[in-house]
Structure 1
Amino acid sequence: MIDEAGIEEVMVEKRKVVHVAVAVILGDDGRVLLARRPEDKHMGGLWEFPGGKVEAGEDIKLALNRELREELDIEVSVFSPLIKIRHDYPDKSVLLDTWVVSGIQGEPKGNEGQLIQWVEQDCLNDYEFPEANKVILRALQLPDRYMITGHFEEKETLFNRVSTALDNGIRLIQFRAHWLEENEYLRLAQELSGVVQAAGGTLIIKGDFSLLSEPWCHGLHLTSRQLTLPTKPEKRHVDQLLVASCHDEQQIKDAEAMAVDMITVSPIKPTSSHPQAIPLGFEQAANLTDVAKVPVFWLGGMGLGDIEVACQSGAQGIAAIRSFWK
């Protein structure tokens, strides 16, 4: 017998999904073009990324330019996939097929009477978006590389390699050092967090949910075991990131129930750190990425050459130890 929650889930799964093309439009100066929904429309007054429904059999790039012509009287020539997110509203489900676009031809204007505005990327959080657009906003703010620190014996090695990574443009780093005692790990994590933040990056640490109350903690990476705990982590400020390790569809659902900002899916390829783990492979990783409603980083044997494959499959990018640590 299926309970009410089960019936609702089945109904959502059977519901027709509307394919929507979404454009994050970048100007030559890096600003993003937003449109404000007219007050008399659904979710009126909220800001959004322009776009619209993809017709049956229509190429996504053609759909984006058709919608941009209709809404803004422009076309674009450069397309880069950002994220695909399914969002379930009470009355319908939508698949937001989101692309970062540039190479604007024409002068943008609100053809449908909507207000449009160019916004600095650092100021996007000041605008109120529909719920479905918030994941797009997070994906836009995340990089395509997530570094995990490797083994070290001396503190100097840790800080030198992290500094090198920061110099090479890495801005999202997980401090992993499971061989250290907790007090030593946290002492180093606090010091390292200041170094990473000073360079404009974010340091993700591992440990108990209570670490989120530490003012220096800017992110927590949850293990798959932590996803089954009865309590939920509570972020203390808007800039904190919650990340989770996932290996299957159920863990992805558990992570989303924890309101995480992003997940890692692993292992994609065989790894020396987890030689017994059965790799997912690109196809299964892509399927799990399609299921996720948050940005996904592929982890496990990933190299810089895999970033394009991951992104083309809907992932945010890659996470790695070896490729970034040495």
Structure 2
Amino acid sequence: MHVVAAVLRDARGRILLARRTAGRDLAGAWEFPGGKVEPGETALQALDRELREELGIRIGPARPLVSVPQAYPGKRIVLDVYEVDQFEGTARGLERQALAWAPAEKLASYPMPPADRPVVAALTAADRYLITPEPTDRPGFLSKLDKALAAGARRIQLRARAMAAADLAILARDAQIRCRAKGAQLLLNGEPGLAADLGLGLHLRSAQLMALSARPVLAEGQPVAASCHDADELAQAERLGLDFVVLGPVRATESHPGVAPMGWEKFAALREGVSLPIYALGGMKPADVAVARRHGGQGVAGVRGLWPK
């Protein structure tokens, strides 16, 4: 089933949500307004019709945000979401549905259908997840980190698997100071104790992910993420309530020469089974963000393609 939805903003930047009415699947959940694409319609024609029928408005220019393939019991959908820059009229619940204008930072507090969770992430979180190379020269590493932050990196994984624990703690504190100054999230790879001690986010290796029975406890507001390669790992990440994951390799990479890439089709198929925000990993560059979004991804993750030269 092909479904379209809109991100509509008011003059204060708040985003419109509509509540699913009684008698429908997932009744009571909040969603981005829209509906099914009928035969013979383009996605934008369907969006304009649905919003006219449901809200009494006509839309102007619209830009693709993300396309989310999602499996539900008994059906599969693809939700194409557009950011609508302008609309005519005043939004009203013409089908007796409740409406709410929500600040972007409050969207995650609304109960939503699974397909809408990646949309919230696409609106509120970084579309690139920078994974640092192994640090060998601390001053040089921090200089490159400063360049990455200056260029707009806002979600960063500090990956230093070969570094001694004491040295890693020092480097993590230095990186934390820099990231906080720029409003960037910093996650520590594979070190839950140190992440908790320093008030950092945590990125779990896939083996760590599968060994857990509960989400690691971190400072309030700090994210927990994980590396995933298949449906079982994705399902485990969702069971634990992780904030996001990376999935790959989507393309062949120099760092894993013997690993067959999954490609975008399999990436999208795996995306269907969970509602987590997912970054595509493996041979990714900033230009691939749009491709990832077309296949349900939050964006791209990587080292070589994102770390400053």
Contact 2:251–2:282 (CA<8 Å) still a contact in 1?
yes
Residue matched to 2:61: 77
Distance 2:296 2:118 in 1: 13
Distance 1:176 1:116, change over 3 A: same
Q: Please report how far the alpha carbon of residue 225 of structure 1 lies from its aligned counterpart in structure 2 after TM superposition.
A: 0.8
Q: Please report how far the alpha carbon of residue 257 of structure 1 lies from its aligned counterpart in structure 2 after TM superposition.
A: 2.2
Residue matched to 1:6: none
Matched letter for residue 306 of structure 2: F
Residue matched to 1:104: 86
- Counterpart secondary structure, 2:276: coil
Question: Quick check: 263-272 or 31-40, which moved more?
Answer: 31-40
Contact 1:35–1:48 (CA<8 Å) still a contact in 2?
yes
Deviations 1:143-168 (A, max 9, x none): 21111112332222222211211111
- Counterpart secondary structure, 2:206: coil
Contact 1:80–1:100 (CA<8 Å) still a contact in 2?
yes
Distance 1:76 1:238, change over 3 A: farther
Deviations 1:263-295 (A, max 9, x none): 211212222222222222333333333344212
Contact 1:27–1:104 (CA<8 Å) still a contact in 2?
no
Distance 2:266 2:19 in 1: 38
Contact 2:228–2:247 (CA<8 Å) still a contact in 1?
yes
Distance 2:195 2:137 in 1: 27
Residue matched to 1:271: 253
| Equivalent residues, number | 305
Task: Tell whether 2:255 aligns with 1:255.
Answer: no
Residue matched to 1:11: none
Residue matched to 2:121: 138
Task: Tell whether 2:297 aligns with 1:312.
Answer: no
Residue matched to 1:154: 137
Contact 1:76–1:101 (CA<8 Å) still a contact in 2?
no
Task: Tell whether 2:281 aligns with 1:293.
Answer: no
Which runs of 5 or more residues in structure 1 are unaligned? 1-17
Contact 2:243–2:277 (CA<8 Å) still a contact in 1?
yes
Deviations 1:85-113 (A, max 9, x none): 53647xx6664615132222202321334
Distance 1:88 1:41, change over 3 A: closer
Task: Tell whether 2:49 aligns with 1:66.
Answer: yes
Distance 1:139 1:109 in 2: 23
Q: For residues 92-241 of structure 1, what are the structure 2 equivalents within 5 Å?
A: 95=77, 97-110=79-92, 111-125=94-108, 127-130=109-112, 132=114, 133-211=116-194, 213-214=196-197, 216-217=199-200, 219-236=201-218, 239-241=221-223
Distance 1:236 1:209 in 2: 8
Distance 1:31 1:131, change over 3 A: same
Contact 1:148–1:321 (CA<8 Å) still a contact in 2?
yes
Contact 2:37–2:43 (CA<8 Å) still a contact in 1?
yes
Distance 1:275 1:281 in 2: 15
Distance 1:279 1:114 in 2: 44
Distance 2:27 2:237 in 1: 31
Deviations 1:97-137 (A, max 9, x none): 15132222202321334554443323435x53335344432
Distance 1:268 1:94, change over 3 A: closer
Between 1 and 2, higher relative CO (CA 8 Å, sep ≥ 6) is seen in 2
Residue matched to 1:86: 70
Question: Quick check: 45-54 or 178-187, which moved more?
Answer: 45-54
Contact 1:85–1:293 (CA<8 Å) still a contact in 2?
no
Q: What is the TM-score with the length of structure 1 in the denominator?
A: 0.80
Distance 1:40 1:159 in 2: 56
- Counterpart secondary structure, 1:80: strand
Which runs of 5 or more residues in structure 2 are unaligned? none
Q: What is the TM-score with the length of structure 2 in the denominator?
A: 0.84
Distance 1:43 1:229 in 2: 32
Task: Tell whether 2:34 aligns with 1:51.
Answer: yes
Distance 1:267 1:43 in 2: 34
Matched letter for residue 231 of structure 1: S
